Structure formats: C-alpha cells, structure tokens
Chains A and B, each alone.
Chain A
Amino acid sequence: MKKVIMGNHALSYGAMLSRSQVISAYPITPQTQVVELLSEMCADGTLDAQFIKVESEHSAMASCIGASVAGSRAFTATSSQGLALMHEMLHWAAGGRHPIVMGNINRSMAPGWSIWTDQNDSLSQRDTGWMQFYCASNQEVVDTVIQSFKVAEKLMIPAMVILDAFALSHTYEVVDVPDQALVDRYLPPFKPAIKLTPADPRAFGGLTGSEHYMELRYKLEKDMEKAPALIEETGREYEKLFGRNLGLVDPYLCDDAEFIFVTSGTAGYTARVAVDQLRASGLKAGNLRIKVFRPFPFDRVREVLAKTKKAAVVDRNCSYGAGGIFYQEVKSAVYGRPGMPPLFGYIAGLGGRDITVDSFKEVAADALAKDRADEEIVWIGVKK
C-alpha cells in the first residue's frame, strides 16, 4: 500500500512488519519519531511487542541483547551520541552472536552539538562486527529493515540500517509499504536453536581463554564472509515477492563511464543528478553508491571500478589522521589488482553541510585535472 512517510517512520514500519517482539530504545534527535511511532503501534495493538522505555542507549542495547538471547526478535534505534554510548554493547551484540536490528540516524558527533548529518557515528563502529546498510530512500529503509532481519538471523550477526539525519530521516517520500502477509512469507519467526532457557541451562559468554577466543572470532568472520552472497540471494527473493531488488551496491550508468563517483547515503542520489548533468556536457560519468559497507562488498566494487578510468570517493566522514573512511576501504579493495583506476579522495558535507550537485562537479573537475591524487584528501566546500 502506498503511503507518504518520513524516513524515521520507514524504520518504524520496517520494524513493525518484521514483527519485532522487543523494542528497547532511548530518544535522541533526530531519531525520536522512530520510537514514538513504534510506541503508538504497541499501544494500539498494531504491533504485539514489549516496549521498554530504558534510561539510556547503553541500557537499550543491553536489554536488546537480553531479549534476543531469551529467544525474541529485538529492535532499537539511535543516533550519534547514543550510538557512541552503546559502543561497548555493540561489540557485545556481535561477539555474542545476537541478530538484533538497529536503525541508526547518521548524526555528527559532538562537540559542538550538531543534530545534522555525517557518517562518523556509524563508521566509528565499523570494527564491532555489525553489518552496516546505508540507505538513500525511505523505500529502501523499509525494505532493508525486513531483509536485514532475515540475513541477521540466518548468520546470527546483528545489523544496522542507516539513514542521513534530516536529509532522509525527516524527508517525506512515497513508500510502497509491503503487505504483512507477504513479509511473513519472506521473514519467518525467529526460532534460535540455542537460547537462554531453563530447559537447556547453559552459561553464555563465560571467561574465555586464549585457547578458545580466536576460534570464536574466526567463526564470526567466516559467517560475516557469507553475508555478501546471502544479501544478494535474499535481495533476489525480496524482488520476487515485492518487485524491488536489494543488493550490495547501486551502480548508476557505470558500464560505459570514464569517471565514477563512489558515494553513500543520500549524497549517492545527488550524485546521480550530477552524473546526468556531466553527461549532458560531454563527460561519461557514473555513480557507484555503496549500500552495504559491512561486510565490505569487495567483489562488486572491483567489478564496477574495473570498467572505468578514474574514480573519486566522496566521504561524508573523516578518520582523523587517515582521511575519509570509504576512500581508505575502496583503496584497499582495489590495491594490487590489475586494471583498477587511480582513486581520488574527497571529504564533504560534515556536520550536515549540504553536498550539492555543484559539490560533485567540483570533485569531478579536481580529479580529472590530476593524474593521481597528490594532496591525499581534498576537502570540498570548506573555507580554508
């Protein structure tokens, strides 16, 4: 059924349609609407779930973990400072193999207080073992929440579904809200083989010596490595039921592109407009929007970039002392492989500063004027 909804509510619908059973969340701008709508859905019976109004994000994730290990499907949402506060528990959720799904609104890290968008909050968590899906439309948000529960529960690895603050979270778009009966066919109930129950009394997460820890982490990595294929497979299944494929990357006009932008989030859609305009003025441009960042989609990224002469990675984040994070990871994906184009790195849009079509044109002009990146990272739109 088609509805006009905001990005935050798309997360709520996704969680509701996925029949989340325990929702434990703490409010933070600009996530509040996610939990407010879920709260209403629980209150009026649309969603049969326990809603725990915890006193902090750290407790939100801890209680999601408790709920998950007790055998229920758990969901939460947060942003920025809240995500950072949960950091310890993000390691816990992934290491403990708890398939929780969380919506994260990409919001800049303080200080100074900023409620607007950039990606440092979620990217700072890239080593925790969570899958990360960066969305660029509200439709994608609803669909991805549903898909991520399926993938998470198959692999026993948690997933975060990520939206840009305000640019997506508060933007209203037409969304084809999936039919509950079809979602139930796609996503069966969560029935873990091992859970916290007196019928099968086990101790979870006890003291683990060096003779066991590494194998446990090896298992996590090996299961994470199954994720790209599983995401594509479940994406195709989704397309059969709902008409929309959900993959790892979203390439736009890359097949014959001489120059490709590598982007993520809503900037990935702005880039398409730039691509169209650049093509109109004679440059064969393309855009590779990376949707799934963890696990990193090495094969798909290499496949697309192999076709082009130059690529510019535009990061809405910065790992201080090492530059843009997508840039670093794309570089490592292509390193040493024959036929890969030279890469250029750009940082734009921190603290919610707009990334415009002109920003992309500036990026293209800069990259095309050089043979290789000399100044490693170029900052776009900054008064230097």
Chain B
Amino acid sequence: MSQEVKKEKKFTMTLPADELMACGHLACQGCGATLAMRTMLKALGQKTVLCIPACCWAVIDGPYPYSSMDVPIYHCAFETAASTATGVKAGLTVTGDTETTVVAWAGDGGTFDIGIQALSGAAERNEDIIYVCYDNEAYMNTGIQRSSATPYGAWTTTTPVKHFKTRPKKDIVAIMAAHRIPYIATASISHPEDFFKKMKKAKDIKGTRFFHVYAPCPTGWKSRPEDTIKLARMAVQNGYFPLYEIENGEKTTLNLKLKDRKPVDDYLRLQGRFRHLGAAEIAEVQSEVDARWERLLKGCAA
C-alpha cells in the first residue's frame, strides 16, 4: 500500500474509542486483568458501578485519594463482591436509578474461594448484577498463593515445585450453570471483540449474569509481559480455556469451534510456573484439557 493511500486510510478500531480508564494506574507491565477491565467498560459505558473486593484491582486503580477510573467504584471486603453488588443494586433501584449497570468485579480468589457463598446466594436469588471473575489462577495480589482456580501442575508460593498443585481447577462455570442464572459467558483478553459482544448482550439481560474471563498474569505465571495476549490466545486455541455461553443453565453455545486443537505444550512452555513439569505431567494436563473439551462438546449437543 502506498504512503498516500495509507494516509487516507482510517485507523481500524474494532471497539469504541472512548476510554473510561486514565493512565497512571498501578497495574504491572503486561497485566491481563487491566486489559479485561478496559475492554469490559467499552461495552458497558459510563453508567456503570463497580464493586471490587480484595484482588489486584483493589490496588490497580490507585490508592486513596486517587482513582484512575471514570466510573464509580466501591472497594469492598474480600468475600463480599456479590453481596455488596446486591446491596448497591437494591439501593440504586429504590432511589430511582434502574439504568446504571451494577458489576461485581473480582479475581479468582474472591470468586472461587472466599467469595463463593455470597456469589451463590446472589445467583440463587437471581440478583440483577453482572459478576465478572477475571481469572489469573492464583491469589496474585498477596504474592501468588494458590486458589481453587490454580490449575493442575502449577507452581505457586503455597504449591511449591516439590508439592505443585495436583488438584484440578474448580469448574466455576458448571457451578454457576447449576444456579440456572439467565446468562454465563467465558471470555479471553485475546479475543476482545468476542468479550465486547457478549458483554453488550449481557448488559440488556435482567438477572444474574456471570463472566469467567481469562487474564494472564506475567508476574504470577513467570511469563514475559509481552506474551500476555499470546498466552490467552493459546489457551483458547488449545481448548484449555474455551469460549462459550450458557443460557438459563441449559443451552450451551460454543463461540469458537476448534477444528485442530493445538497441543498444550507450547502454552505451558512459555510459563515459568509450569517449568518443572515432566512429560508425564504434561500428558496429564493434555488429557484433562481433552476430557473437558469433549464434555463441553457433549453439553453443546444436548
């Protein structure tokens, strides 16, 4: 393409240009969670309230008296993302605001572990909130300790190499599906248009909506900061983190069909947290990913 033609060409933006995040925030270089927030807010817009428990995002937006965000945030106690959001929604509704979207934005620790009771309660009551779990697969904010979202084989400070995690990752999407909530979606920061589309769809649905977003963490995964998007993409392409939706706990729709699923090796190799895995363990990871993928396909057919 000649330089003259290029000058006329518009800059391609597959997402809206408006930003609801200002710079100067405290995220690590190459932070997946930050990109997840940026993408989500493009879909939801400024009339959004965030309830953020203890997690990396409790710190990222800035210490008192600063906030890098142009949406209001209530920083809440660790286990209370869903219960705080429940209260905020009730408070807004009763004071006449039925338009503002209430979002509980929590890490995997605050969702899979300590926050699961409040999440289950809110989902059972079908509270009108969007719950987003950005999953970096460990308690990163406190220094990389294991959570029930930490996958088989991973090193963390509480699952050191000699005792790496042998329990599988908790299937949070299956747990949420069992609550029969209107909408569940997985998303990955490597596929922002897919995440954006699903979030826009969710915005117009009433009741509890749950997102499981894959957000690699270079600091905790011991990966290169520049590989953050690549890792998220590989996870989607090898079936480790499939992109799908579940409506009303029953109807599963695969968003990205994978004809030739890539093997997990390349994905694992890029992360220091898996460096200690031998062939047998890698095979174990592969077979678990394969089994999950098959189950998902069966669920779609049903």
Contact = CB atoms under 8 A, between A and B. Distances in A.
A contacts B: CB pair < 8 Å: yes
Interface of A: 21-22, 24, 48-50, 52-56, 58-59, 62-72, 74, 88-89, 92, 196-198, 200-209, 212
Given A59-B80, A62-B84, A205 B75 contact: yes
Contacts of A209: 63-64
Interface stretch (B7-15, B114-122, B186-194): B114-122
Interface stretch (B54-62, B216-224, B240-248, B257-265): B54-62
Contacts of B92: 70-72, 196
B79 A58 contact: yes
SS class of chain B's interface: helix, strand, loop or mixed? mixed
A204 B73 contact: yes
Given A69-B88, A69-B91, 4 more contacts: A56-B118, A72-B91, A202-B67, A204-B72
Contacts of B124: 55
Interface of B: 46-49, 51, 58-59, 61-67, 69-77, 79-80, 82-95, 97, 100, 117-118, 120-121, 124-125
Given A72-B91, A206-B61, A65 B69 contact: no
B58 A196 contact: no
Highest count of chain A CB atoms <10 Å: which of B64, B69, B70: B64
Given A59-B80, A203-B72, A203-B73, A208 B87 contact: no
A196 B90 CA distance: 12
B48 A204 contact: no
B121 A198 contact: no
Contact of B85 (A66, A206, A208): A66
A63 B58 CA distance: 19
Given A65-B76, A196-B49, A200-B72, A52 B91 contact: no
Contact of A49 (B61, B72, B94): B94
B71 A201 contact: yes
Given A71-B95, A212-B64, A198 B49 contact: yes
B63 A59 contact: no
Contacts of B67: 201-203, 206
Nearest to A68: B91
A21 B49 CA distance: 19
Highest count of chain A CB atoms <10 Å: which of B79, B87, B89, B90: B87
A208 B63 contact: yes
Given A66-B76, A203-B69, A54 B86 contact: yes
A205 B76 contact: yes
A206 B64 contact: yes
B72 A67 contact: no
